[in-house]
Structure 1
Amino acid sequence: MEPHRKGDLTEAIVIAELKRRGIPVSVPFGDNERYDLLAEDDDGEVWQIQVKTGHFDGECVVFRGYSTHTNASGNTRKSYDGDVDYFLVHCDEVDGLYLVPESAVGSNMSLRVAEAKQDHRTINWATDYDFDERWPPSGETGDWRDAVVADLRARDIDVLDARKSDAPYELVLRTEDDALHRTSLRPGSVSGGRVRFDTGRTRAPGPGAVDLVLVRCRDTDETYLIERAAYDESISLRVAPPRNDDARTHRAADYTVERRWPPA
């Protein structure tokens, strides 16, 4: 089946699944929007949804985190980069429907269905993104950064908001001794018993550009504070009890703002 016809079929299936669950759905007129659907939750919140076809490779449901368009130069790819709230992925081979935050996806993503030989921290388990477990969303997409700033100020932390500047960081946090910490804000989510962030295009700038990373995780309703120099490309914080008491395990409870502020 041609890709665009397959996409139309997937979109029709997804709309039917949403309507079957009693979820109000609207479809934008024309092809000018980045999202495919608008879905409304019970509180009247409207979410921009991009429908994706998932392909089962025998172990994982794989889908793309970008769109493809054809122009005079050939095929071009464009990431969504905040233009939608969620990907809604349907995979016919496993009869699966998955809700994945756009911020958690890079150029593509694999959701593991089959058992793994080792429970590696980078695994995204399909069951963690099951639609019926993830809907309705918690409400932390567009204004979650404002909520983090408000929480910091409620803790009497001096916050300088740099989001409207060209700086590679969003905030500057000042300690009582006037030390300044360039701080990046990142969204996080729980998968495989760990808080994960800094995936794909959502990665924070390197340690030369920022000092701290604040991770807001909607699944745990918690904000975590991590020194940027403590990791290279990614780090995960364990929420579930580890199988082995390994000194290398980063426990989420040890990285809360309450435990980590002010930085050492």
Structure 2
Amino acid sequence: MQTHLRGDATEATVIAELKRRAIPVSKPVGDNERYDVLVETPENRILRVQIKTGRLTDGKIDFHTRSQHTNSTGNSYEKYDGDVDYFFVYTPELETIHVVGEWEFDSSMKLRVEEPEQVHHTINWAEEYEFDERWPPQSDDCNRAMRSQIVDTVAAELKRHELSVARSLNLDGCDIIVESDGKQFQRITVTPGWLRDGCVTFDPGSTDRERLDWFVVYAAELKTCYLVSSDEFDKSISLRVDDDVQNRPQINWAEEYELGSRVDQLT
């Protein structure tokens, strides 16, 4: 069976199974999104799901963890990198669906079905990822893992600007410490940002801002970091991305808060 036909068959099978279980599922209009479907949990959380075909080889389920694009030079592959929340992997030979979080692997993953000759602690046992074992996903585990991934992204971006960066291990509310040229230290908390109505918004929550110097807001949809001082807002702040509004003095334009344009304030 051709690749695209196999993918269509897998997607139809998974969607049918979700409907059979009375799990709300939606299909995006057009081909602009990197996820295949949106799935709603009993807690009313919306998850972006990429559906993959698993291949049973040598006692393991293997599946592609990157998207493939064909151009004039051949095939290119791109990591999903935060564009989806979960992979639903359907293996036709077993007629099973496995659920894997996007944060649970780097560039590849195999699910072990049969006992190997030597058992190693790094084995990902397929039974632990079966749909019934993992549905509905636990929001706390997902949030912790996703937040850790965001902190890693921000730390790498700060390092790219040649800053001295340390990951905080036990300071409440502080994720990263940056050392400035004057041997002073800047305390930073990292938080996800959401693109809503043309603005990047974030929730500072109950963070003790008196113990912090900066917020770095990472908007995954824009793949952009924004640097906001802890004393630049009261309870919340929105960073305007879309300029299709009446220009008012109180607008906080997102481009003025981009990390690259403000990074000198950390030195």
* Structure-2 residue corresponding to 1:46: 46
8 A Cα contact 2:62 2:111, kept in partner: yes
Structure 1 runs not aligned, ≥5 long: 149-159, 186-264
Aligned mate of 2:158, from 167, 175, 181? 167
* Structure-2 residue corresponding to 1:18: 18
8 A Cα contact 1:53 1:90, kept in partner: yes
State the TM-score, normalizing by the size of structure 2.
0.56
1:87 aligns with 2:87: yes
* Structure-2 residue corresponding to 1:71: 71
Q: What's the RMSD between the two structures over aligned residues?
A: 3.2
State the TM-score, normalizing by the size of structure 1.
0.57
8 A Cα contact 2:166 2:177, kept in partner: no
* Structure-2 residue corresponding to 1:192: none
Structure 1 residues 55 and 170: alpha-carbon distance in aligned structure 2, compared to 1, 3 A threshold: farther
* Structure-2 residue corresponding to 1:113: 113
Alpha-carbon separation, structure 1, partners of 2:138 and 2:169? 27
8 A Cα contact 2:56 2:62, kept in partner: yes
8 A Cα contact 1:162 1:172, kept in partner: no
Alpha-carbon separation, structure 1, partners of 2:66 and 2:152? 30
1:210-221 aligned at under 5 Å gives the runs none
Alpha-carbon separation, structure 1, partners of 2:152 and 2:128? 34
Which secondary structure state, in structure 1, belongs to the residue aligned with residue 122 of structure 2?
Answer: coil
Alpha-carbon separation, structure 2, partners of 1:64 and 1:162? 23
**How much has 1:32 moved relative to structure 2?**
0.4
8 A Cα contact 2:103 2:145, kept in partner: no
**How much has 1:121 moved relative to structure 2?**
1.2
Alpha-carbon separation, structure 2, partners of 1:172 and 1:96? 41
Alpha-carbon separation, structure 1, partners of 2:28 and 2:98? 22
Structure 1 residues 117 and 31: alpha-carbon distance in aligned structure 2, compared to 1, 3 A threshold: same
Structure 1 residues 82 and 162: alpha-carbon distance in aligned structure 2, compared to 1, 3 A threshold: closer
**How much has 1:140 moved relative to structure 2?**
3.8
Structure 1 residues 96 and 173: alpha-carbon distance in aligned structure 2, compared to 1, 3 A threshold: closer
Alpha-carbon separation, structure 2, partners of 1:145 and 1:106? 13
Structure 1 residues 141 and 163: alpha-carbon distance in aligned structure 2, compared to 1, 3 A threshold: farther
* Structure-2 residue corresponding to 1:136: 136
Structure 1 residues 55 and 142: alpha-carbon distance in aligned structure 2, compared to 1, 3 A threshold: closer
Alpha-carbon separation, structure 2, partners of 1:146 and 1:56? 29
**How much has 1:144 moved relative to structure 2?**
3.0
| Alignment: residue pair count | 169
1:123 aligns with 2:123: yes
Alpha-carbon separation, structure 2, partners of 1:161 and 1:59? 33
Which secondary structure state, in structure 1, belongs to the residue aligned with residue 157 of structure 2?
Answer: coil
How high is the sequence identity, in percent, across the aligned residues?
44
Listed one character per residue, the Cα deviations across residues 200-224 of structure 1 (whole Å, up to 9, x for unaligned) are: xxxxxxxxxxxxxxxxxxxxxxxxx
Which secondary structure state, in structure 2, belongs to the residue aligned with residue 166 of structure 1?
Answer: helix
Higher helix share: 2
